Structure 1
Amino acid sequence: DLFGCLLTCPVKTAVELHRCKLGKKGQPLERLPGHLPNRKMLLGQLDWVLTLMLDAIGKRMLPAELFERLFRGDLMVATMFRRFLLAQRTLPAYGCNPVSKPELPNCSKHGLWAVWDKLLDRAVDLLEAQDERECRLVEMFFRLVLEEDQETVGFEGL
């Protein structure tokens, strides 16, 4: 199910959904280049950026006590709640609205999602070109964030 995929393999799922959204034809992605710990390759860079971004969105949108409890406590709980934010943003397009306990505010309109979409555009382009060499998505992420209004993306005070 889509919710389960967003929680267990968020980067691969996000790239595949974005690819479909862009109308890309062909076989589904078998695998993204690289491994999660390798931040020099596409998969590792996207995972790193997604984690940073979801953390920033959570810090900006959640009450401080709730953020500390969910995002700074147990590693597995933090991972699931970060990924829940991705599901919260993704699933309404498919007629689903995920619910969590404790309830989280709707974070789907945060300004960083536009940055994520730009990175996914670039990732899909790289995959379409079958360019498995090192890429510069992390550098692009920070450049895009610095270009955005800091109040909009919510990095002040992190």
Structure 2
Amino acid sequence: MTDKTDQELIDAIQRGDQDAMECIYNRYKSWIYSLAFKCCNNHEDALEITQDVFRYFFKKFPGFELSCRFTTYIYPIVRNKSIDLIRKRKTTENLDSMDESKYAANDSRSFENIGELVSELSEDYREVLLMRFISGHSLNEIANKLNIPLGTVKSRLHNGLNKLKNIRK
């Protein structure tokens, strides 16, 4: 099977040949991994991108016609999946690195007044802010303790901090 051209393998995959699918995977997994690694400089991320690329390719596969080299077709998929992962990681890191000092009052309000400001927030925002900045919990810990998705924790934290900022004005 390894002596077949990419077009022959793709034709075989369209007929349902699992061996051809495995052959395409084995033929290009190292190339995709190395390209992904160049983009993200992280072994685990490169493996995740490699899996995502093949998952995407085989999901979109029905009706696929190879009109160029396989690497020419797959390169933008690898690039886009890498960019998506980097953006996702960057957003998570930015939210993880937020601290209350960015939003701290620059005026003459005392620490006690901050408690008054926080009490003006809804329970959802107040709970997440207190767990994050007073108790020092990570975003994942907050999500687990409150039994809510991580994305909800991030949005409540972000929106709560913005509301605090607006309240103090």
Asked if TM exceeds 0.5, the reply is no
Which one has a bigger Cα radius of gyration?
2
With a CA cutoff of 8 Å and minimum separation of 6, indicate the structure with the bigger relative contact order.
1
Using the size of structure 2 for normalisation, the TM-score is 0.29
